[in-house]
Structure 1
Amino acid sequence: MEELEAWEDLSNIPADPPVMRELCENCKRPSVVCWCSALPPERLNPESKIILLQHPAEEKRCLRTAPMLQLGLAENKCLIFKGKKFPQPKHENLEEILLHPNTLLLYPSKAAIDIKDLDYEATFYNIVLIDGTWPQAKAIYASSPILHIIKQVKLTVSNASNYIIRTQPTEGCLSTLETAAEALSQLERNSIYRQQLVEPLHMLCKFQLDNGAVTHQSKEFLIKTKTYPKLIGKRLSKLLKSTN
């Protein structure tokens, strides 16, 4: 009898799915953690374009900065292509963009020159960034020979990343959003990109910190202070030695 009553109780459980949190139509995040109010008052419209080569795993991260960049810039000023090597047949017009003489690859190779030392002869640039972790970025670069023939530039910045809720490999590493904003500010000679594009990131970090998140030091800092909780691999060890 008790068993029958238990089954009757189960049969009365409503089959409707649980109520999902309301999502912002713009950023697609839950409305309570939406950062759209921190976007530029008007979408910024630089002469140059940002081209993101995004590793597929990056799209699954809930705390990512590429959407902030895409929504902060005018339409078609931030193009995102997904994959582990580039270009592929599905990447419409990407090969043409990568082979354009005004295209720059932001990648810290030995051949890269400081973006500040670039001869600003063009009125616009296609600024290519690889969006992913450092190992993912290296793998994409290695598997995409076309990237090796693009003029390579790097950023030299003294400020630390504002993305303080995510661990960066070294002290000088910036998020995708910060890198793009700094590059645009220097190439367009206008600090508005540096000032306005990163505001959603500040808002995101503040919300996370107010709700229990903690600030993250870089792996480089933690290793130097002997507080990093894991063994480091040869690749990271080599990278840290090269920055000293």
Structure 2
Amino acid sequence: MEEEVWDDLSNIPADPPMMRDLCKQCERPTVVCWCSALPPQRLNPRSRIVLLQHPAEEKRCLRTAPMLKLGLSENKCLIYKGKKFPQPRHEYLEDIINQPNTLLLYPSKTAVDIKCLENNLESYNLILIDGTWPQAKGIYASSPSLHNIKQVKLLTSTISSYIIRTQPTEGCLSTLETAAEALSQLEGNPIYRDQLVQPLHKLCKYQLDNGAVTHQSKEFLIKTKMYPKLIGKRLSRLLRSTNEISVNLN
């Protein structure tokens, strides 16, 4: 009797997994596609964004780099992946790094406010490191070629709209928001700040409407004694440096 039962069970055909329809553009399930919020026409700035993306970033399901790439014209957002740059497989990246109009957005001690650039060039290659802060520091430390690029920083009072993801500090922005703000300042045109971030707004609204909750920054949670974990020395130093910057700005 038992053998007959197992025979019957073994002959039951396995149903194929239900696959959700994917958007051909953003490659997300159509029900959570944000393409309708992209700019009506892909924006075409004089400058271009060059993302150096940590491999772990590509695995995140809620990423903003694809929004940036689809919101800008062809070849206005280049994405290179790795933990060290440049490498032989990074086509044209070494040439970009060596061009005189290339900037690295990185908050080093020598970085200047992007609004106060002395060079009045028509266009720039603006390099951003796409990853968490520890990942970005690791990429910078292992990529000596980046150290010779003119470095700029972004000083803004903008608060991130990426409220479904925990940020380290109150002033942190997503990759998309950082690029949009930087382009608006470089190009002298708020259209990048206004239009490029709309897909992020749509994504967050959908997530919140379907059970997601807003996330406060680690800095806020620690200050209000709501952070559930002990903080390490690295985060403690980051929060102290952020507070020092805030004091200097005020």
Assess same fold via TM > 0.5: yes
SS in 2 for 1:68: helix
> Are 1:42 and 2:41 matched, yes or no?
yes
What residue in structure 2 maps to residue 170 of structure 1? Answer: 169
Q: Distance in 2 between matches of 1:136 and 1:22?
A: 33
Q: CA deviation at 1:4?
A: 1.4
Q: CA deviation at 1:17?
A: 2.4
SS in 2 for 1:130: strand
Amino acid at match of 1:218: S
SS in 2 for 1:205: helix
- Percent identity between matched residues is 76
> Are 1:155 and 2:154 matched, yes or no?
yes
> Are 1:114 and 2:113 matched, yes or no?
yes
What residue in structure 1 maps to residue 3 of structure 2? Answer: 3
Amino acid at match of 2:2: E
Count of residue pairs brought into register by the alignment: 243
Q: Distance in 2 between matches of 1:106 and 1:227?
A: 32
Q: CA deviation at 1:104?
A: 0.5
Q: Distance in 1 between matches of 2:7 and 2:38?
A: 52
What residue in structure 2 maps to residue 84 of structure 1? Answer: 83
Q: Distance in 1 between matches of 2:221 and 2:119?
A: 39
Q: CA deviation at 1:166?
A: 0.5
What residue in structure 2 maps to residue 104 of structure 1? Answer: 103
What residue in structure 1 maps to residue 248 of structure 2? Answer: none
Q: Which moved more, 1:16-25 or 1:189-198?
A: 16-25
Q: How do residues 122-141 of structure 1 correspond to structure 2 at under 5 angstroms?
A: 122-141=121-140
Q: CA deviation at 1:120?
A: 4.7
Cα RMSD after superposing both structures: 0.9
Q: Distance in 1 between matches of 2:227 and 2:5?
A: 55
Amino acid at match of 2:193: R
Q: Distance in 2 between matches of 1:7 and 1:207?
A: 46
What residue in structure 2 maps to residue 225 of structure 1? Answer: 224
Q: Distance in 2 between matches of 1:136 and 1:3?
A: 56
Q: Distance in 1 between matches of 2:170 and 2:148?
A: 28
What residue in structure 1 maps to residue 247 of structure 2? Answer: none
Q: CA deviation at 1:116?
A: 1.2
What is the TM-score of this pair, normalised by structure 1?
0.97
What residue in structure 2 maps to residue 213 of structure 1? Answer: 212
Q: Distance in 2 between matches of 1:106 and 1:7?
A: 64
List per-residue Cα deviations over 1:151-177 (Å, max 9, x = no partner): 000111112100000011111110000
Q: Distance in 2 between matches of 1:192 and 1:90?
A: 34
Unaligned segments of structure 2, at least 5 residues? 244-250
List per-residue Cα deviations over 1:171-227 (Å, max 9, x = no partner): 111000000000000000010000000000000000000011110111111111111
List per-residue Cα deviations over 1:81-116 (Å, max 9, x = no partner): 000000000000100001111001000111111111
Q: CA deviation at 1:60?
A: 0.3
